[in-house]
Amino acid sequence: MPISPTYPGVYIEELPSAVRTIIGVPTSIAAFVGTAPRGAVDRPVHITNWGDYESEFGGLDTSSDLSYAVYQFYQNGGSEAEIVRIVRTDPGETGTKATSSAITISGATGDLVLAAASPGKWGDSLLVRIEANPDDNGTPQTTYNLAVRDSSTRATESYLNVSTDPTAPRGLAKLLASSSLISVTSGDSNLPKPHKAIDPKDGSPDPFDPKKPDRYTQATATSGADGDKPGDADYIGSVLDKTGINQLMKADIFNILCLPGLAVDHAFIPTALKFCVDHRAMLIADPPEGWTSVQAAFDGVRAGTALTAEGGANSALYFPRITAADPKQNGFVREFAPSGVIAGIWARTDVQRGVWKAPAGTDATLNGVSKLTLKMNDLENGRLNPQGLNCLRTLPVFGNVAWGARTGFGSDQRADQWKYVPVRRLALFLEESLYRGTQWVVFEPNDEPLWSSVRLNVGAFMNNLFRQGAFQGSTPQQAYKVTCDATNNPQNTIDQGIVNIQVGFAPLKPAEFVIIQIQQLAGQIQV
Same-domain check for residues 378 and 327: yes
Q: What are the start-end ranges of the E strands in 140-288? A: 143-150, 155-163, 182-186, 217-218, 256-263, 282-286
Residue 30 to residue 347: CA distance in whole angstroms: 8
Instruction: Please give the single-letter amino acid code of residue 120.
Output: G
Q: What is the SS3 string spanning 394-458? A: EECCCEEEECCCECCCCCCCCCCCCCEHHHHHHHHHHHHHHHHHCHHHCCCCCCHHHHHHHHHHH
Handedness of CA 237, 240, 242, 245 (dihedral sign): positive
Residues 198 and 259 in one domain: no
Q: How far is CA 15 from CA 56, 127, 187, 371, 464, in A?
A: 49, 63, 59, 63, 26
Picking from 195, 218, 241, the residue at the C-terminal end of a domain is 218
Question: Considering the domain boundaries, does residue 522 fall inside one?
Answer: yes
For 295, what's the count of Cα atoms within 13 Å in the CB-facing half-sphere?
Answer: 0
464-476 pLDDT, tens digit per residue, is 999 999 999 999 9
Instruction: Give Cα 42 distance to the centre of its chain.
Output: 15
3-state secondary structure of 385: helix
Q: What gap in Å lies between CA 357 and CA 509, rounded to an integer? A: 9
CATH number, domain at 145?
A: 2.60.40.4290
What is the per-residue pLDDT across 178-220, written as a single tens digit (0 to 9) for each?
Answer: 898 999 999 999 989 998 888 877 778 889 988 888 889 987 6
Distance of CA 192 to the CA centre of its chain: 41
Q: Are residues 133 and 178 in the same domain?
A: yes
Say if CB 103 and CB 221 are below 8 A apart: yes
Q: How far apart are CA 366 and CA 186, in angstroms?
A: 50
Last residue of one domain, picked from the residues 191, 218, 245: 218
Whose CA is closest to 41, among 85, 98, 88? 85
260 and 134, same structural domain?
no
Same-domain check for residues 123 and 156: yes
Cis, peptide link before residue 320, omega less than 30° from 0 = yes
Cα R_g (the chain), whole angstroms: 30
Q: Examine the domain organization and report whether 344 and 450 are in the same domain.
A: no
- Domain membership of residue 224 (yes or no) is no
Neighbours of 423 (CB within 10 A): 21
Statement to judge: residues 214 and 270 lie in one domain: no
Q: Which of 184, 43, 213, 71 is nearest to 117 (CA)?
A: 184
CA 337: distance to chain centroid? 17
d(CA 111, CA 468): 64
Q: Considering the domain boundaries, does residue 436 fall inside one?
A: no
Show the domain range for 478: 445-527
Judge whether 11 lies within some domain. Answer: no
In this structure, are 46 and 193 located in the same domain?
no
CA gap 502, 484 in Å, rounded: 7
Same domain, 146 and 178: yes
**Are 395 and 493 within one domain?**
no
17 domain-assigned: no
Minimal CA–CA distance to 358: which of 368, 367, 350, 366?
A: 350
- Name the amino acid, one letter, at 71: Y
CB 316 within 8 A of CB 281: no
Distance of alpha carbon 209 from alpha carbon 185, whole angstroms: 26
Is-above-0.85 flag for pTM?
yes
Domain end call among 423, 454, 488: 423
267: left (phi over 0), alpha (psi -120 to 50) or beta: alpha
Would 68 be classed as within a structural domain? Answer: yes
Split into its structural domains, the chain has a count of 3
- Cβ(25)–Cβ(432) below 8 Å: yes
In a domain, 432, yes or no: no
Determine how β-strand 282-286 pairs with β-strand 315-319: parallel
191 and 132 together in one domain:
yes
What's 381's domain CATH number?
Answer: 3.40.50.11780
Same-domain check for residues 235 and 347: yes
Residue 78 lies in a domain: yes
Report in angstroms the alpha-carbon separations of 442 from 121, 129, 253, 497, 499.
50, 56, 22, 9, 9
Residues of the chain with pLDDT under 50: 136
